[in-house]
Every structure is written in C-alpha cells, then in structure tokens.
Amino acid sequence: MFTWEQTTGGVHRALTGREGGVSRGAWLGLNLGLHVEDDPDAVRENRSRLAAAVGAPVVYMDQCHGAEVAVVDTVPEVAPSADALVTTSAELAVAVLVADCVPVLLASPDGVVAAVHAGRPGLVAGVVDAALDAMRDLGASAVDAVVGPSVCGRCYEVPAAMRDDVAGVAPLAATVSWTGTTAVDVAAGVVARLTARDVPVTWVPGCTRERDDLYSYRRDRTTGRFAGVVRRVAS
C-alpha cells in the first residue's frame, strides 16, 4: 500500500501509490479521491484500507488551492475546506490527496502534526508558512518535514507570467521544461519555504508524471489521487 513510510520520534508518515486498492479503469488501484468521478464505493473501500493500515481514522480535506488551515481533534462530519490539516491527537491521522501537487507531512516532537496540500497556487498563497504558523500556535517549537513526490520542474510547463508568480515567493522554483519552455518546480519552492523557516526536509524522490505507480493529473487528466498521511504514534 505504501510507496514510502517512516516511523520516527513518535510519528508515522507514509505515502500511498496505486498498489493495494480496488478502483478500476482510469483510477486503477488505490484511488483515495472522492471528487474525481471514480465509483464512490471503491473509494470508500480504498479509504477503509488506508485507515486499517495506519491504525486510525483518516481525516481528509476539501482542498481548495489556498492557504486555509484547519485544526482538528476529532473526525469531522464534513471534510474541512482547507489546504492544511493540523492535529495534536494521536487518535486520528491527517491526510493530503495529490496527483502532481506537493504533499508535505510536518511533525514536531511537541506532538503536533500536519498534512499540507502545496500546489502551485497554494505555494503562492503561502500555505506552507500558514501551516507552520498554526503548528507553532499549538506549541510546536521545532518541526521537520517530509516532502513527497510531485510533478517535477521539467514536466510542469507553464506560461511565463505564471512562472513569475511562483518565482516571486520562491525564486528557485523557476525552471525550464523538457522542451526548453518556461516551467515551475513547485516542490523546490516548497522546500525553499521550509528551509527559510529552518525546517529540516526529507525529500522523497520521484516525479508523478514519470512514475507509473503514482497518479498524475498532468499525464492522464482523468485519474485518481494518492495520499500523504501522518499520525502520532507511541514511540
């Protein structure tokens, strides 16, 4: 089920892929997105498998490509509209869904964890800093980050004006595509924002568009979503 996982310092962080799910067709595998026209029964089964694998209910967001942060301490009835989910509870896991956007899993030894959806607009809106601020407000004195696979800086062609927007918050994110046109490396921008806040980063390699075991919107358009998930556990 997991393409990468780590348990350290009382925190379990994991990234899913396509393997281990029941979705069919364009969503083949462990699609966890309910908003991508897959069979909802299949998605519910996939979500229940993920909850079993992490050993706790998983809270998802209604992701909006902004910088809203939701703090949760129980499983909400409706997924909060946000792009960062923060919790201090060990009774639940928080998740971010992606198919090219950057999944960021934050944790603090003070018992605060967060899942962040950092796409291009979210990075520009400041979602990384907003999540770190919310964690600090809950008592996180030190935070470290895992940055999962996303579309790479060669595979994410954008118009020049869009690249300039991103470079405005993270100059390192300005790249060129495989064909030499303007492009962005959103993950490089995310890592730059984290580094600017003295947050150590573990960057899991891989480009979603180039890896068949992960969902990629830019490659396939109609496709599923994989997850980054983080949970406090007994150390």
Q: Which residues are near Zn ion by CB under 5 A?
A: 152, 155, 207, 209-210
For Zn ion, the closer of residues 47 and 209 by Cβ is 209
Shortest Cβ distance from residue 91 to Zn ion (Å)? 37
Shortest separation between residue 210's beta carbon and Zn ion, angstroms: 4
Smallest distance, Å, CB 205 to Zn ion?
11
Quote the CA–CA distance of 210 and 203 in Å, as a whole number: 17
Neighbours of 57 (CB within 10 A): 14
Amino acid residing at 226: F
